[in-house]
A and B are shown apart, each in its own frame.
Chain A
Amino acid sequence: MLKIRREFIAGVERAGRKEDLYQYLQNAIELEHATIPPYLTAMFSLKPGTNEEIRRLIRSIVIEEMLHLTVSANILVAIGGSPQINTPEFIPSYPGPLPMGIGGQDFIVGIEPFSKQLVHDVFMVIEEPENPIPIKVLTESAETFGTIGQFYQAIQKKIAQLGNGIFVPGSAARQVQEWFGYTHLFPITNVEGAVKAIELVVTEGEGTSSDPFQSPGDPAHYYAFGEIYHGRKIIKTKTGYAYGGDPIPFDEKGVYPMKPNAKISDYAEGTQARVRVEQYAYTYSSLLNALHESFNGKPDNIQVAMGLMYELRIGAVSLMSTALGDGTGLTAGPSYQYVNVQGGMGPAASVS
């Protein structure tokens, strides 16, 4: 089970006013976001026309992470806060630990191409529920660490405790409502709505303690990654559940051999790789800018953000199909750095 430093849970529990919750909801937004670059990269690294089922599974998880980010941001907006999305600090430094010390300082998440090992060693660890099915033994001390589920439950409890008075009248009009369907994303105007929304976030990530499926045919993230790793769909057996269903084939050749954990500065100026990695980082930064606007008074701007998500996807293909030509056999890999300009060709006068 992925751990979160208990001080964050304690902080939520200590909150006396709604303003004390702002930072923790911002933390939740950052946490939900932190998984998106690694998952997106793994998904984008699957070559077009190959590994379709794996792509579909990761895509559905990424979309839910975006939903969770949206829910956390909407709750923050609902109680009068302002999500901060477009800052350099918003993006974790990859490879590195997740926000709030999740998983401990030794748990390092990077930007890597898809591999089953990556799914097993990183993604399944991120999404591991409190009590995985089949049940595993908790070995670590619960003294200094809690779970992400506990963190969200603490927020749920605190909101209930502070009561309906913390919700700003009329804030529903400032919440993002599109693209995820009303059953998953609805205006949050009171304790009941907030509690229900958080429940969905926890269930979609971890499932429930007795059922790996968040809804029929749709396993929670941990189990969906498990399907990918084990190469089979989950089925119900007489004794419980097994990765024994339809195969989920993996074609190793269908993955771009992209450079992992790249920084923009890793690529020489005046190369296609540099221009494309800068473009990708710029598009991602523009996406964060658009989301920031969406959560700060212009909810319809989510449409603009959707366009940027498609541009990012196309940019990833262009990037990951660019050979580095440095003898490693690698292609260019993305960098998630917040940038304000896009260049890459170096001083204009120096390139012929």
Chain B
Amino acid sequence: MSYLSGPRLHFNGFFQADVSTVNNNVRYYDIAHFKPQYQMSSSSGVSPNGGWQPEGTGIFRLVGCTITGGWLDGAAVTKDPVLGMALESSDQRVSGKLVDLDPQQQLVSEIWGMAVRLTDDRNPAYFNGQYGVAAFNNAWARQQDNSAMNDQKIGAAYQSVLEKVVWSDVNVSPLLQALQAASGDCLLSIQFNVYGYGRDPSSPRYTLGRITGTIGPASTAEPRHFVLGRQMMPNLDQSPMVPAFGVNAFQCLVDPQRCTVTADFGNALQIVNASGVLVDMGELSLAILKSSQVDDGAQVGADAIEILGQVPYLQPAWYPTTAGIQTFDYSSNPWVREHIAEQPLGVVKTVSTGAWQVLIQESLGGLYARADQYVYRLNPGETASMRLYATRYGSPIAAKLALAEDDSMIGSPGGPPIPGVPVPKIGVPLSALQYSTEVETHADGSPVLVEASANPAGPGNPRGYIDGQVYGIGYQLADPPLPANYNTSPWSFVSVLLFDLHPVPDKPTWYRDIQPILTQFGNLYPIMSHHLVDLGDYDSVVRHADILNLAFSLPVGDPNYMPVTRDLSAGRRATLLKWLNHPGEDGLPLKGVPLPVAVVPEALPQDTTAAPELDLEPIQRAGKTEFLLQLQARKNMEKGG
């Protein structure tokens, strides 16, 4: 079960991602070379600077989201008390947070600590659940209008679950009753698309973006972050962000009992601008391709496809009220009933009478491999249990998967150069992260668990001024082999942040053990130092010892967890807590004596494949856009020689 099966709710509104931008440039992690101007906004005119929002808080919350549509018993819901209710974040705790894995892996931003509840002025929560930590997926250059310079034109999708769901008073709504009845395990499936994110300080949308999504039933037996269904894979040969024929990856679920295909176009169709108006690409239909050997972009005739139905995406209310999910009924088509399980799906565009162009199609051969969770943080000696699946036309299969290091989508510095501060090389040493390079998946729909283990000694501080190391673990089908021209997803890899070993000193002191850790956070998150605690200052930190003690002791999923960025290793955390809780004779945490000079390790492995400098708009001088452009430049360079 997932948001594509059974009863579902659609919502639409805004989100706020109050991200901070100083930490976008990996070089700013070097405390020995940090300058105050790196905390200044890009609008200050200073260069290099701290990006478009140095004082961001990391808050991620829903803003003005309402239930705009639903689906029940095979039909769209147009009259139900749930329509118009608000979908809100927690009203009991602080907001959730949006968290990058690392400055050298900014393409898996995760939402942590968010609660989601359905409410109106009569009931604080018809349901309330905890959002399972999830990173975005299938990011792409979705917004086509280039006139809004500071809009983030990349859109992406999030799929996860709501856990520990508590229901109340659902009998007011038939749709809610059905949703509760369909959901076991106190679990719901939630998917949403984010786009139209504003970075212009003069815009009402500053730090806000659009969100449209769907909530449906879920089960613990199924993946949390994708649907065991049919996977449409775009041709991304030009760029990992630009589908060759304008339609991005999406998933479908076939229900053979009801004879329906439910397709999620929510993150698949281009938008004109931030308002979410979809680009008119002509008449689009979901179809079954009668041959599995059609080229992307090829023109085909009526004999080559079976149309399942048009995608009504040009109706203005369609996207906000369905979140782009469309159910197609093929019960009256015997050919489809017979062949849908073994023939690829695709989106075709009507070119002329009797002629269509194939814009996107199902993964060739129906073959697909996928890791459910694809972001991990590991302390030395810890193990991540990756959950991998292989499917063929949506059905789980026993197959061999090959795993290997893959850093093609990670490693950019994320900002402009700083003299004397090298960009660390990522993914080394390889030996610090161990995993099986070949595994067999299960045909029964259960995942194969693949352990990725961090060396007990850690990676050995390969990045010098920044803790730990980032790794990419790529995976792909080895047997059955992939057909020629298979569109491999650039997102089929797992990102791992491996922390350095950090033994806890017997008697930690401020100068030797604590200041170097907290100064870096103070540099990168000026919202803290300017408004709460000056993390570089002993007196300030000691004055706030109680609240720091609390925040550093919380479980990592708690919305009050510190640091918000979840990038403090267990060893460093234990050091901090030991320091806070073992005061000296004066009753205060030990101060120690200042160190003579910070020691910078020499011969730091550098990324010699770093991209050449790019001519970017000022707003793009840090963060995801630059990160991506740097990746693209690196790829181009590699291609060129």
Mark A residues whose CB is within 8 Å of B.
Answer: 48-49, 179, 270-272, 275, 279, 282-283, 285-286, 289-290, 293, 303-304, 306-308, 310-311, 313-314, 317-318, 340-346, 348-349, 351-352
Contact = CB atoms under 8 A, between A and B. Distances in A.
A314 B526 CA distance: 12
Nearest to A311: B94
B530 A272 contact: no
B88 A341 contact: yes
Nearest to B528: A314
B210 interface: yes
Given A306-B550, A341-B119, A352-B275, A290 B208 contact: no
B531 interface: yes
B629 to A, nearest CB: 26
A282 B531 contact: no
B93 A286 contact: yes
Interface in B53-86: 57, 59, 61-64, 66, 86
21 contacts: A48-B531, A272-B206, A275-B208, A285-B91, A310-B94, A310-B532, A310-B547, A311-B57, A311-B95, A314-B527, A318-B18, A318-B57, A340-B91, A341-B119, A342-B62, A342-B64, A343-B63, A343-B64, A345-B13, A345-B204, A351-B205
B91 A286 contact: yes
Contacts of A317: 531
B465 to A, nearest CB: 28
Nearest to B95: A311
Contact of B210 (A48, A270, A282, A348): A348
Nearest to B14: A345
Contacts of A352: 273-275
A345 B208 CA distance: 10
B576 to A, nearest CB: 18
Contacts of A343: 13, 63-64, 86
A307 B113 CA distance: 13
B559 A351 contact: no
A306 B551 CA distance: 10
Nearest to B547: A306
Contacts of B64: 341-346, 348
B332 interface: no
Given A342-B61, A345-B63, A349-B320, A293 B92 contact: yes
Contact of B560 (A286, A304, A314, A349): A304
Contacts of A307: 93-94, 551, 559-560
The 5 closest A-B pairs by CB, nearest first: A343-B64, A307-B560, A352-B275, A341-B86, A307-B94
Contact of A289 (B66, B92, B95, B530): B92
A286 B90 CA distance: 8
A352 B208 CA distance: 12
B275 A308 contact: no
A306 B205 CA distance: 29
A307 B12 CA distance: 29
A280 B177 CA distance: 33
B530 A49 contact: yes
B12 A348 contact: yes
Given A307-B560, A343-B64, A344-B63, A290 B92 contact: yes
B119 A304 contact: no
A293 B124 CA distance: 14
Contact of A275 (B63, B94, B546): B63
Contacts of B274: 352
B531 A314 contact: yes
Nearest to A282: B91
Interface of B: 12-14, 16, 18, 57, 59, 61-64, 66, 86, 88-95, 119, 121, 124, 204-206, 208, 210, 273-275, 320, 527, 530-532, 546-547, 550-551, 559-560
Given A304-B560, A349-B320, A352-B274, A342 B88 contact: yes
Nearest to A310: B532
Contacts of A270: 204
Contacts of B86: 340-341, 343
B63 A342 contact: yes
Contact of A48 (B12, B66, B530): B530
B63 A313 contact: no
Interface of B is mostly: mixed
Given A272-B206, A304-B93, A345-B204, 13 more contacts: A270-B204, A289-B92, A290-B92, A306-B550, A306-B560, A311-B94, A314-B57, A341-B64, A342-B64, A343-B13, A348-B12, A348-B64, A352-B273
A163 to B, nearest CB: 36
B275 A351 contact: yes
Contacts of A272: 204, 206
A85 B638 CA distance: 63
Contacts of B273: 352
A144 B559 CA distance: 49
Contacts of A179: 546
A314 B57 CA distance: 8
Nearest to B554: A303
Contacts of A303: 550, 560
Contact of A348 (B13, B88, B204): B13
B387 to A, nearest CB: 31
Contacts of B320: 348-349
A289 B115 CA distance: 15
Contacts of B89: 342
Nearest to A350: B275
A307 B275 CA distance: 34
B92 A340 contact: no
A341 B550 CA distance: 28
Nearest to A274: B204
A314 B61 contact: no
A317 B528 CA distance: 12
Contacts of A293: 92
A343 B121 CA distance: 14
B204 A308 contact: no
B155 to A, nearest CB: 16
A132 to B, nearest CB: 31
A272 B200 CA distance: 11
Nearest to A271: B204
A299 to B, nearest CB: 15
B590 to A, nearest CB: 22
A340 B121 contact: yes
A347 B61 CA distance: 17
A279 B207 CA distance: 13
Contact of A340 (B63, B94, B124, B208): B124
A289 B61 CA distance: 18
A292 to B, nearest CB: 9
A151 to B, nearest CB: 32
Contacts of A344: 63-64
A66 to B, nearest CB: 14
Contacts of B531: 48, 313-314, 317
A348 B14 contact: yes
Most buried by B among A179, A303, A304, A341: A341
A119 B371 CA distance: 60
A335 to B, nearest CB: 17
Contacts of B530: 48-49
Contacts of B63: 275, 279, 342-345
A307 B86 CA distance: 24
Contacts of B57: 311, 314, 318
Nearest to B533: A310
Nearest to B546: A179
A283 B90 CA distance: 10
A311 B274 CA distance: 28
Q: Which of A272, A279, A348 has the most CB of B within 10 A?
A: A348
Given A49-B530, A344-B64, A275 B92 contact: no
Contacts of A314: 57, 527, 531-532
Contacts of B62: 342
Given A307-B93, A341-B88, A275 B204 contact: yes
